[in-house]
Structure formats: structure tokens, C-alpha cells
A and B are shown apart, each in its own frame.
Chain A
């Protein structure tokens, strides 16, 4: 087949190039620029090579923040994915209950992130907040602004409240795409409820669940606004996840070089995990 050569097509691609350059490539390159140099203000720079990267990778502060981040993401995934599937399984499949449930489920997703943080901050205040006050009245010594355990508990509870719905909606969509005949076939075979879930529902939800895990991983790994408003990273540094720590370093201490290096390392971690997930999903795709 003869290909016609028409270079004019490139003109159609230019807008995308410009857009991507302005919103991704150029800002990223500034960060790359900072990460290899020391800045003294007034646009004076000194070359530092990989010093900042080494410093970050060896710093205990970064290790601690990364550790907290991984723990947080791991815990919320561990709660949200099974909980989301569980709720999706109990949701009605037809009738008036469907729109009611769907609207209720979408509600938390529609609230701006800083509002969620502020809401939970007030909700959990030990003296006047409904949650905080009730817990204390029940005899628990609860104070999320002073006790790390309580701060973690509150942050996780907030994230579960805010984001489980997303998993529910995805799982519900996955469940609804299963033809009734599958359930009948299982019923005829005499399969138990668990077997039906394990061998029909779960495999059929595989794709949406991979997507749900990926989305929840990325969002929680980059979480900033909600814990910033709720705890500000405290007490101490106990809820300072990667983003919060990064902002502290960049804007609080004005250590632009190390902060830029940390941003890039952070970025590569997210990119790496996304790449792994993407390949997993494509493998699933290729199978079916």
C-alpha cells in the first residue's frame, strides 16, 4: 500500500504539544532545574549535581514520611476495597432503592476536599465535635490533635468516608454487568453464596477492581488537602504524609533544591506503581 505523505497533519498536533508543554513539561523542567542546583535568590544558581537526591534518599525524614505514606495507603486500600465491594453487594439491583443508594453514595465524592477536612476537623474536636465529644463521653480518651493514634484513626476514618463510595460505584457497575444467567447457573449447580462470589462475581469484577485500586492508590498516595486541614500533619509529624512533608520543606523551610529532588523521587514512585498497574490491567485485557 502506498502511503501518501502529508506533513500538514502535524499542524493538528501542535495545540496538544503547546498545551502539554505549558501544563506539564515546562513546570516539570523547572523542578528538574531546581533539583540539581542550589538557589540563592535573585536568580543566582550553583550546580550541585545529584547531591540533593542523595541527601533525600538518605534522609530519615524522607524515609519516615514515605513509611507513613505507604502505611496510610495500605490501610485505606485494605479497608476501602473490601468495604466497597461489600456495600456494592448489598445495594439493590432494581426499584426505587437504586437511585437513592446511588445519590447517597455519590454525595461524599461531590464535597470539595478542603471542606471534607474542615468538616471532619469540627466533627472530631474532642470538646465540641459530635464524634470527639461522644467518644469522650463514652469513656475513650480521644483527642486527635494531641494523640498520634487518634490522629491516624480520624484521618483514616475521614478517607474511608470520603472515598469508599468510589469503590462502591465501580464495584456496583461491575456487578450489574453480570448477566443473570450466571447466577442461575450457579444456583443450578448448587453453589454457595461464597462460591458464587468467589467464582463468578469476583472474576467478573476483576477489571473494575483493578481500576478502583489504581485510582485509590494514586489519590491516597498524593493525599494533601484533607489531612492538611484536619491535622496539619500533626501532632508532631505523625500524619505528615509525603505531600505535606514536601510542602513543609519547599514553602516552610524554603529548601527548594531538596524539595525539588523529593518531588521528582515522589513522582517516579507514583509513575512506577502506575506503570505496574497499567501492565497488569493490559495483561487482563489481553486474556479476555
Chain B
């Protein structure tokens, strides 16, 4: 089983929503589409589902061309950001709805609904209507509806975006487990890099209608092919600065911070990408280097501290563990872990990681 997009393009009027895209999703995988809003995640999913036709290009499923085949004929299910359930059906009827249409026997329906409801902790509320449920339970109902059908393709379009923080964390942990023993392809769209890392599987980074990179999630994270992919897969935003390399010494163009690099690349000018968590208030790794700065913003987020500071003309974002209180305007010292630097050439392609 596989789903393959071949040169799929989507235009609406003169606007291109998806530039020609090739993507092959394999059986029993979870695939994350990662990108900001308007990156084309939803459009891509609707094309995969058959809710929308590509302007050009083909969609192949199990070595069969399914371009233009209606969604009813494909065996897929979808969960949306909004909690979509039939408003005057009970939870039970909602979960059963994809099955009742196909004419499966009532006994089997009851059994399958019961199983899925248990999996999603809905057993106690099968007789309630969706609007009597909390947001989390409504979304669980929608998920149950998607799971009950044994679809070949399950599409999840930012399913956690409308949930509050705690519920999101909870459901995010459960999600990959739900799909473990299933014979299907799961596609999960999100704007959050942390979602992708948590869910694992494969990740495709998207920007403005283009798939930038597709591969194993950790690989995409650790070895972004280019600067754009790295930027998409970084939250808070990645720090980018220009450097000059002479011999094994690297130096920022903007200040005097320098370090020894074992990177096997030619001398010259490069761009450096530094993830915020690699700039910290404490030393990390064997090759950390000090940077001075003036604090612009200092905020706590849970057990992490986010410090924005300026050094020369550049703004930097750092993310440290623990609560590191700094005063705005304070001169401070931070440490950059040079082992984790990503080196990009002038064409923004990755030339060395670490």
C-alpha cells in the first residue's frame, strides 16, 4: 500500500496553491505535513482525499491511478481542526455513521464502535450529544469516527489546534499509539515543530505551496537540506547569521565571537543556523563559545526561559532550561553550543551539521 503524488499542482485562478509536488507515502507510516498557515497543508490533504482535484498531475494509490476518483469511492477518513460531528446524533450514532451507510450488520457495528470508543475513552458518553461534551471529547468522537472505518488513508488536519494546552499534550501522546497496529497511511498536518518531533514517523516541511523536504522526522530535523526547511522546523525561530571561515577558525561577520570548527568545508562566507535551545545561559557541550548581549525580552514558558537579546545589529533568541530571570536592558553573557551549528552555503544549502 502506498500513496504517491506525481507532479501534483493546484491552481485557483492565477494563484498557485500547490507547486508541482512529488511525494510518496508508504504503508503503515505516519507522515507529518509541517508548515505555517497557507503553506498548502490542507489543500494537499484534500487532494490526497479526493475532495479536491489537482489542476495537473496524478495521484496513485496502490499502483492504481486514482486522480479524479471521488472521495466516496476511496477508503479514507479525515479529522479537522474544528470538531466536526453530526449535531443531532449521539456520540454512538456519530461514531457508527461511516459504517451504517455501508450496510454492515448492527451487531458488528456495535462491537466496532464499542472497541473504538474504549480506545478513545468515550465509553461513558456514548448516549450524549456532541454539544454536551467538552472540546477534547468532541475531538475524540471525531477521531473515533475516523478510526472505526478501517480506512486506507487517515488524514488529520491540525486536529489538536483548537484544544487547550493540557488536552493537546494528552491527545498528542495517545495519537501515535492509536495508529500503531493499523494497516493504513496516516497524514498529520500541523504548524508546530514540536508536534512533528513528538509524533515521529516521517515529516514533510512545507512553505508557500512547496514541499521543501521529506524524510524521517529526526533526519529532517537534524539535517535540514536547506535553510528554509530548517526555518520551518524550528520554533522559536532559528537564529541565522553570516560567518567567515578561515582555516579552522570561524567568526561572525557582525561581531568578534569566534570558534574552532572541524567542519570539512572550504574557506569562505557561510550562513549559520542556530536553534534557540543551543544558545543558553549555561555552558553546554565541549565546544561552547561565549556571546555578550543586551536583553530585550525575557519570559518564562513552563520550565524554560526564552531570552531575546541583541548583539551588534543582530537579534538573537535563546531558550534555556530552568527559570533564568533576566532584566530587560541588562548586559548578559550566553553560551552557544558550536557542535550543533548548521552551516549553509550562499545558496542556502546545508553543507555541514556540527
> Quick check: A188 and B77 within 8 Å, CB to CB?
yes
Residues of B within 8 A of A190 (CB): 72, 98, 101-102
List the B residue with the shortest CB-CB distance to A287: B131
Expressed in whole angstroms, the minimum distance between the Cβ of A89 and any Cβ of chain B is: 18
Is the C-beta of A45 less than 8 angstroms from some C-beta in chain B? no
A199 interface contact, C-beta 8 A: yes
Q: Evaluate contact between A189 and B88: CB separation under 8 angstroms.
A: no
* Smallest CB separation, B95 vs chain A (Å): 11
Report the bound CA distance from A204 to B87 in whole Å.
8
Does B51 have its Cβ within 8 Å of any Cβ on chain A? yes
**Contact (Cβ within 8 A) B51 A199:** no
Q: Are A181 and B82 in contact (CB under 8 A)?
A: yes
Which parts of B55-106 form the interface with A (CB within 8 Å)? 71-72, 76-78, 80-82, 84, 86-89, 97-98, 101-102
Specify which of B49, B71, B87, B132 lies most central, judged by the most chain A CB atoms within 10 Å of its CB: B87
B72 and A187 contact, CB distance less than 8 A: yes
Q: Closest CB-CB distance, B175 to chain A, in whole Å?
A: 19
Which residue of A is nearest B72, CB measured?
A: A190
Cα A288 to Cα B129 with chains together (Å): 10
Question: Within the assembled complex, what's the spacing in Å between the Cα atoms of A182 and B81?
Answer: 11
Q: Secondary structure of the A side of the interface?
A: helix
Alpha-carbon gap, A277 to B76, bound state (A): 42
The answer to whether A181 and B87 have CB atoms under 8 Å apart is no
Q: Contact partner of B84 among A181, A191, A287, CB < 8 A?
A: A181
Question: In the complex, are the beta carbons of A179 and B84 less than 8 A apart?
Answer: yes
Number of interface residues of A (CB under 8 A): 16
User: Which residues of chain A come closer than 8 Å to B82, judged between CB atoms?
Assistant: 179, 181
Q: Of the candidates A182, A189, A287, which one forms a contact with B97 in the assembled complex, judged by CB atoms under 8 Å apart?
A: A189
Bound state CA distance, A191 and B71, in angstroms? Answer: 11
Tell me which residues from 85 to 136 in chain B have a Cβ below 8 Å from any Cβ of chain A: 86-89, 97-98, 101-102, 129, 131-132
List chain B residues, Cβ under 8 A from A189: 97-98, 101
Min CB gap A168→B, angstroms: 22
Instruction: List A contacts of B131 (CB < 8 A).
Output: 287-288
> What is the chain A residue whose CB lies nearest that of B46?
A184
Closest chain A CB from B116 CB (angstroms): 15
Tell me the nearest residue of chain B to A189, going by C-beta: B98
Whether B78 and A199, one on each chain, are in contact in the complex, defined by CB atoms closer than 8 angstroms, is no
The listed residue (A184, A200, A203, A204) touching B78 by CB distance below 8 A is A184
Which residue from A181, A191, A288 sits with its C-beta under 8 Å from B101?
Answer: A191
- B78 near A188 with CB under 8 A, answer yes
Closest to B100 in A: A189
Q: How far is the CA of A287 from the CA of B132 in the complex (A)?
A: 7
Establish whether residues B101 and A187, one from each chain, have CB atoms under 8 Å apart when the complex forms.
no
Residues of B within 8 A of A204 (CB): 87
Within 173-200 of A, Cβ neighbours of B (below 8 Å) are at 179, 181-182, 184-185, 187-191, 199-200
Task: Digitize A242-286: 1 where CB-to-B-CB distance is under 8 Å, 0 elsewhere.
Answer: 000000000000000000000000000000000000000000000
| Complex CA–CA separation, A288 to B46 (angstroms) | 30
Nearest A-chain residue to B142, judged by Cβ: A185
Given contacts A187-B71, A287-B131, contact A182 B84 (CB under 8 A): yes
CB closest chain-B residue, reference A185 = B84
- Which residue of A179, A187, A188, A199 is within 8 Å of B88 (Cβ)? A199
CB distance B76 to A188 under 8 Å? yes
**Interface residues in chain B, defined as those with a beta carbon under 8 Å from any beta carbon in chain A:** 46, 49, 51, 71-72, 76-78, 80-82, 84, 86-89, 97-98, 101-102, 129, 131-132
User: Which A residues fall within an 8 A CB radius of B?
Assistant: 179, 181-182, 184-185, 187-191, 199-200, 203-204, 287-288
A-B contact pairs, 7 of them (CB 8 A): A181-B82, A182-B84, A184-B49, A185-B78, A188-B49, A189-B101, A287-B129
Given contacts A204-B87, A287-B129, A288-B131, 5 further A-B contacts (CB under 8 A): A181-B80, A184-B78, A187-B71, A188-B72, A199-B89
